Amino acid sequence: MSELYKIDKNTELGSVTLNVQQLDQMIAYYSRVIGLDVLNQSDQKADLGTKDNEKVLLTLIKEEAKGTPTRKTGLFHTAFLLPSRKDLGNVLYSYLSREIPIGGASDHGYSEALYLQDPEGNGIEIYADKPKEVWDVRPDGTIAGITIQMDANGVIESRDEGQKIDKFPAGTIIGHVHLSVSSLDATHEFYVDVLGLDLKYNYGEQAKFLAAGDYHHHIGANTWAGENLPKREEIDLGLRSYSFVLPNEKALNKVKENFEKLDMQYTEEVSGAISVYDPNGVKVFLEVASN
């Protein structure tokens, strides 16, 4: 078999789609509390993002929960990447002034991050990257992370003083998606050996961090909820899908070639994107950046 292509180094994440039970409540939380804007809304679906550039970051789809909830693979958290530390300071100040519950605040060496949970239990990370010059980049290209207490005072001091900004700024993107997986080995095989991401860091035997290019991670994966979890189905509440955005059609065709060499099934979407399911039952879209 000929060598497989690495995914293009300029690949980024696009959007995340969640299945939710209480659509109105979830729209209110992500718009009024978290800081996204509602871009489109119907009785069954809502798209949220930043109004300044109309980019959809999060889609909420109403699904009826059936039966008793079962712990399955899926979302650990959706991570919203803000353009700067100043923006993170604006968000933190807004949350504290409105007494929004924050589950944690960490310094990871390469980023500073806030952690929350939405009303249906989906994890949320809101973070800003530190300058790449201070990242712990090893000679082999791996990027080591840490978890220590965030300098909350320093973050707040970096904000736009005298202003209270309750919305995410233009330039906010999905920085990474962190998954709760059944098997780290199977997840590694798909994202590294098939899709072509690079392994950036092994957190012992409990988590992996994977990325395109020189980023610290676009995908996180952990087994903290236990190994051999049941695979999620597309109608289960929580993470329905997420997307990678490749820079051009040539890069997308290279991914198709990988799938075809490995006899891996994928679907050609009407939009021109392709979709595939990862080993955890999460639907992954691969699309080309719009001009």
The structure tokens listed for 162 are: 């005298």
How many CB atoms sit inside 10 A of residue 136's CB? 13
Distance CA 277, CA 265 (A): 9
pLDDT at 53: 79
Per the domain annotation, does 7 fall within a domain?
no
Per the domain annotation, does 6 fall within a domain?
no
Please say whether the beta carbons of 176 and 79 come within 8 A.
yes
Hunting for tokens 């500073």 — which residue is that? Answer: 112
CATH of the domain at 91: 3.10.180.10
Per the domain annotation, does 59 fall within a domain?
yes
pLDDT at 274: 97
Full residue range of the structural domain in which residue 217 is found: 12-288
The size of the chain, in residues, is 291
How many CB atoms sit inside 10 A of residue 279's CB? 19
Distance CA 221, CA 202 (A): 10
The structure tokens listed for 143 are: 């990027």
Distance CA 13, CA 289 (A): 10
Per the domain annotation, does 247 fall within a domain?
yes
Strand 238-246: give its sheet, edge to edge. Answer: 37-41, 45-50, 55-62, 12-20, 238-246, 283-288, 274-277, 267-268
pLDDT at 67: 57
Report pLDDT digits (tens) over 91-111: 999 999 999 999 999 999 999
Per the domain annotation, does 1 fall within a domain?
no
Per the domain annotation, does 134 fall within a domain?
yes
Per the domain annotation, does 4 fall within a domain?
no
Residue ranges for the chain with pLDDT beneath 70 = 1-2, 66-69, 291
Q: Looking at the 3D structure of the chain, how many domains does it have? A: 1
Taking CB atoms within 8 Å and a gap of at least 24, the contacts of 266-274 are 273/243
Distance CA 128, CA 85 (A): 6
User: Considering the entire predicted model, what is its pTM?
Assistant: 0.96
Per the domain annotation, does 265 fall within a domain?
yes
pLDDT at 283: 97
Range 188-220 burial, b when 16+ CB lie within 10 A, else e:
bebbbebbbbbbbbeeeeebbbbbbeebbbbbb
Distance of CA 216 to the CA centre of its chain: 13
Percent helix, strand, coil in the chain, to 5, is: 20, 35, 45
**Does the CA dihedral 59-27-222-132 come out positive or negative?**
positive
Please say whether the beta carbons of 261 and 251 come within 8 A.
no
pLDDT at 1: 40
Report pLDDT digits (tens) over 62-88: 998 765 567 899 999 999 999 999 999
pLDDT at 291: 65
